[in-house]
Amino acid sequence: MKKRVFSGIRPTGRIHLGNYLGAVQNYVAMQDEFECIYCVVDIHALTTLEDTHLLKENVREMITDLLAAGLDPEKCALFVQSHVPEVTELFTLLGMVTPLSWLLRVPTFKEKVKQQPQNVNYGLVGYPVLMTADIVLYKAEVVPVGEDQLPHLELAREIVRRFNDHFGETFPEPKARMTTFPMVVGLDGREKMSKSLNNHIELAATPEETMKKVMGAVTDPARMRRADPGHPEVCNIYKLQQNFNPQVIDEIAEGCRSASRGCVECKKQLGASINEFLAPIRVRRIEIAKDQAYIDRVMKEGAEKARALARVTITEVKQRMGL
Ligand code: ADP
Ligand code: NA
């Protein structure tokens, strides 16, 4: 039997190259080996109340991109968190076995308290409990995570252990499956491509938009003139070339170091390769977006699949807890 995987995807709107290479392509690859449950976690997005008027649209954009990227509703359950209300019931019940002290020492929580002490709500401190409910509602055994999310998963495992100790073996302890793709760098020279830094390329961007963004990117700051020798190791365009043109990466490095090749030429090559890479995804995306009824159907059928599993778990949990 295939192991069950759960991943929660935050509805940040359109997927960018960082999300795709770092996470989504892995979701696509896992569809065959595992039973995959992929959930766009809209309730989690409410821990900050900004832009809630965009939430529905962002969820749709995310689902559209995920389908275009290759998630197949025949192979996985793809749905929206709030469409399976059982998750909030389990959240409440798991809250009863979660010591507050565990939640107060979560690093990301402590960071938020420092950053925005005026906006620390009950939902924010309970975030890891809701995340645990997301995973165990489907009795998932495997969770793909980045390094930054390991503390949350460890907490989920502790909550599971505590529940199982109290009420009998109910949930499997979810195991982390570490994401191995190196960080995709930003077009502004920063370490991380990120939507919030606006140094990203969306999967859905047009080829022209993509080329324009790449041509405007920051390269080796020490290379002021075309004739100056460049330093590929400090250049984000070079790092992106490693992602998109690995087969000619030595020539690219050599051309840069010897100044036989300029940054403009290098960027044109990168832009063209990114466009080539994204072309099939974009074609699919345009097709999918034309059929909004299909997207509704995917979300509805995904939620039905998920709810069938969720109801079984909730019934068992309530019975074990004496309800
Ligand atoms: P988070 O900020 O919580 O990591 P994001 O919405 O930024 O979530 O990204 C969603 C997923 O995409 C995460 O798994 C994250 O690790 C991955 N991701 C985001 N940006 C990058 C990037 N620049 N390089 C590699 N992976 C990325
Ligand atoms: Na981000």
The domain tally of the chain equals 2
pLDDT digits (tens, 9 = 90+) for 92-146: 999 999 999 999 999 989 999 999 898 899 999 999 999 999 999 999 999 999 8
108 CB near ligand 1 (under 6 Å): no
Closest CA to 76 of 6, 157, 152: 6
- Are residues 101 and 237 both part of a single domain? no
Q: What is the pLDDT of residue 175?
A: 97
Judgement on whether residues 120 and 218 belong to the same structural domain of the protein = no
The residues, any chain, with a CB within 8 Å of residue 323's CB and separated by 6 or more, are none
Residue nearest to atom 16 of ligand 1 (CA): 146
* CA-closest residue to ligand 1 atom 14: 23
CATH assignment at residue 216: 1.10.240.10
Question: Can you tell me the ipTM of this complex?
Answer: 0.93
Residue 189 in any domain: the answer is no
SS3 40: strand
Q: Check whether 49 has a pLDDT greater than 80.
A: no
Are the beta carbons of 205 and 17 closer than 8 angstroms? no
| The pLDDT of residue 179 | 86
Q: Which of 175, 190, 142, 224 is nearest to 18 (CA)?
A: 190
Asked if residue 225 belongs to a known ligand binding site, the reply is no
pLDDT digits (tens, 9 = 90+) for 249-284: 999 999 999 999 999 999 999 999 999 999 999 999
User: What is the percent of the chain where pLDDT is above 90?
Assistant: 89
pLDDT of the residue at 51: 77
Pair 180, 300 in one domain: yes
Cα 79 to averaged position of ligand 1 atoms, centre (Å): 19
Got the DSSP string for 21-32?
IIIIHHHHHHHH
| Global pTM value | 0.95
Domain of 113, CATH number, reads 3.40.50.620
Question: How remote is the CA of residue 92 from the centroid of ligand 1, in Å?
Answer: 28
Q: Are residues 240 and 156 in the same domain?
A: no
pLDDT of residue 189: 95
Residue 48: the pLDDT is 77
Domain check: are 17 and 74 in the same one?
yes
- In this structure, the answer to whether residues 102 and 11 fall within a common structural domain is yes
- Residue ranges with strand state E in the chain: 4-9, 35-40, 76-80, 142-145, 175-178
Answer yes or no: do 144 and 10 share one domain.
yes
Active site residues: 112, 192, 195
The verdict on 54 and 174 lying in the same domain is yes
Q: Which domain range does residue 303 map to?
A: 4-184+292-321
C-beta 12 within 6 A of ligand 1: yes
Task: Indicate if 280 and 298 belong to the same structural domain.
Answer: no
Residues, CB-to-ion distance under 5 Å, ligand 2: 194
Whether 195 maps to a domain, the answer reads no
Ligand showing the shortest atom-to-Cα distance for residue 193: 1
